[in-house]
Amino acid sequence: MASKMDFESLIDTPRKQAMLGISIAFMIVFPLYFQVMPSLIDDDLLASSSGGGARGGWVVTFNEVTIELSESVNLGDGDSHDSFFDVESEFFIGYVEVFVTCNDNDDPGPGFSDSVDGTSDVSGVDGEFDDQSDSGTCGGGNSGFTMGWDVTSNYTGESYQIEDVSEGDIRAEWNDGGFGRGTWALTITADISAPPGIGGFVDSNEDYDITWTAVTYEVVLEPIVDL
């Protein structure tokens, strides 16, 4: 009986009735608030991540690791040599180059410089790359030729700043797509030039240096913070 009278005392005036109603409503709404808000926050985060992550200003730099293979070969006139460069990397590949150099320092005079011809074979490499052919003379110091292939388009390794771009968009731009892995190949052929009659004594062969280089990298992003 006492508890009934206590309850009646809580609602015996319109003001008390209003306060009791507010208290009951608050007891119902407050727990629901904490149940609903986490899902709303997760939805907002999901919406932002679907656009490629946080957007803003970034300093973009590249940590490079170079893979290199060098070899030297002595060839006579018309002799050929096959060179192979196996590339595997967990980093992205920026570009691949091959340098062929030679130095004809044993010819008797102008007009008799040795030279070299080269033809690549990229059939063993993942991705669409074009074969190349080139040639170069060996006179006048170190000469020869260079071939190169871009694996990641427009990659130079230079740092830069960019505004209002998502992290995901930047990383997608500098993704090599898994290309460039495999075996790069090159065949060189020597062309030995010497005066008739003494060629076998003065200049019968040439030394050729072949250097393969693959520049690999990882992308480093630092947000620009306005103070």
Residue boundaries of the structural domains of the chain: 2-49, 55-223
Measured CA distances, 143 to 73, 95, 109, 114, 209 (Å): 15, 22, 17, 10, 10
Q: What is the pLDDT of residue 143?
A: 85
pLDDT at 109: 56
- pLDDT confidence of residue 56: 74
Please provide the DSSP assignment of 131-191 as one string.
Answer: --EEEEE--SSSEEEEEEEESSTT-----EEEEEEEHHHHHHHT--TTTT-EEEEEEEEEE
Residue 203 contacts residue 112 (beta carbons within 8 Å) = yes
> Nearest CA to 173 among 219, 126, 214, 215?
219
Contact 192, 205 (CB under 8 A): yes
- Whole-model pTM: value is 0.72
Q: Cα–Cα distance between 164 and 56 in angstroms, integer?
A: 4
The Cα–Cα gap between 56 and 54 comes to 7
Query: Within 13 Å, how many C-alpha atoms sit on residue 149's CB side?
Result: 25
Q: Going by C-beta distance under 8 Å and a sequence separation of 6 or more, which residues neighbour residue 211?
A: 68, 69, 70, 98, 99, 101
pLDDT, residue 48, reads 42
pLDDT at 105: 74
Low-confidence spans in the chain with pLDDT less than 70: 1-12, 14-55, 106-111, 140-142, 194-203, 226-227
pLDDT for position 21: 64
pLDDT, position 91:
97
- Considering the segment(s) 55-223 as one domain, its CATH architecture is Sandwich (2.60)
Output the pLDDT for position 204: 83
Output the CA angle 157-161-165, nearest 5 degrees. Answer: 110
Contact by Cβ (8 Å): 18, 132: no
